[in-house]
């Protein structure tokens, strides 16, 4: 069975979104981009800066509550339904819970052929990108650079601080073709 889902996991400002766009260019078939940032943007204002929803502290630490988790589970189920309906999907996520986050995706994607990709980026490089962007709480990139990978099992890892997005995309695409 061909790869149906590519799950990219990496910290904030690691280059996941840029990698997704590069993948959409190099992969021969159309792939939809699904990002956790877009999911967060879907949340009602009442769940932003809320203990039951989604909060970002001044130091960049992210916390999520029970209502966020419930809606996130529904979102993952919806992503899996798109794949089961025939769409190929690249997921851009940040596994704040490390291995537990991967397990939640595994449950949603049961029975599908998934390529798990770790998107690594040196914490200093990610922090520089974060500062240049200006749209993130300072400290988020550095705190997530390694933490999001703890206990996560990958089929493949790329390092965006050492390779250009196109090269990383070609590496991932080569694995999609082999599966």
The stretch 61-67 carries a mean pLDDT of 93
30 neighbors 169 (Cβ within 8 angstroms): no
Q: Give the pLDDT of residue 32.
A: 98
Block residue for tokens 């595994």: 106
The stretch 144-169 carries a mean pLDDT of 96
152 neighbors 103 (Cβ within 8 angstroms): no
The stretch 12-34 carries a mean pLDDT of 97
Listed range (20-34, 62-76, 133-147, 153-167) with the worst mean pLDDT: 133-147
The stretch 81-110 carries a mean pLDDT of 98
Indicate which residue of 37, 92, 146, 159 is catalytic: 37
Q: Give the pLDDT of residue 101.
A: 97
Give 135's pLDDT tier (boundaries 50, 70, 90): confident
Give me the chain's average pLDDT, please: 94
49 neighbors 37 (Cβ within 8 angstroms): no
Q: Which two tokens stand for residue 167?
A: 């090269």
Among residues of the chain, what percentage have pLDDT more than 70? Answer: 98
Q: Which helix (H) or strand (E) segment is 170 a member of?
A: helix 165-178
The stretch 37-60 carries a mean pLDDT of 92
Of 77, 109, 112, 72, nearest to 94 by C-alpha is: 72
Give 94's pLDDT tier (boundaries 50, 70, 90): very high
Q: Give the pLDDT of residue 179.
A: 57
Residue 103 phi, psi (nearest 5): -65, -35
Rounded CA-CA distance 131/137 in Å is 9
pTM above 0.85, yes or no: yes
Give 133's pLDDT tier (boundaries 50, 70, 90): confident
**Strand pairing partners for 33?**
90
Rounded CA-CA distance 163/118 in Å is 14
Q: Which two tokens stand for residue 101?
A: 């986050």
Whether 177 shows a pLDDT value over 80: the answer reads: no
Alpha helices in 16-122 (DSSP H): 16-26, 36-42, 66-84, 99-108
Tens digit of pLDDT for each residue in 143-155?
A: 999 999 999 999 9
Q: Which two tokens stand for residue 58?
A: 């001044």
Whether 174 shows a pLDDT value over 90: the answer reads: yes
112 neighbors 80 (Cβ within 8 angstroms): yes
Whether 96 shows a pLDDT value over 80: the answer reads: yes
Instruction: Answer yes or no: 92 catalytic.
Output: no
Rounded CA-CA distance 171/165 in Å is 10
Q: Which two tokens stand for residue 102?
A: 């991967």
């Amino acid at each position: 069975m061909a790869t149906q889902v590519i799950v990219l996991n990496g910290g904030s400002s690691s280059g996941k979104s840029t990698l997704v766009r590069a993948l959409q260019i190099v992969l021969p078939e159309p792939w939809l981009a699904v990002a956790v940032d877009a999911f967060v943007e879907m949340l009602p204002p009442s769940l932003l800066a809320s203990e039951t929803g989604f909060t970002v502290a001044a130091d960049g630490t992210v916390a999520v509550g029970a209502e966020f988790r419930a809606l996130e589970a529904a979102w993952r189920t919806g992503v899996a339904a798109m794949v089961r309906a025939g769409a190929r999907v690249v997921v851009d996520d940040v596994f704040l819970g490390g291995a537990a986050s991967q397990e939640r995706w595994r449950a949603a994607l049961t029975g599908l052929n998934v390529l798990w990709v770790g998107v690594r980026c040196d914490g200093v490089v990610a922090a520089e990108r974060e500062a240049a962007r200006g749209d993130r709480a300072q400290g988020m990139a550095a705190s997530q650079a390694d933490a999001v990978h703890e206990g996560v099992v990958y089929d493949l890892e790329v390092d965006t601080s050492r390779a250009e997005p196109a090269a990383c995309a070609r590496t991932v695409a080569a694995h999609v073709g082999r599966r």
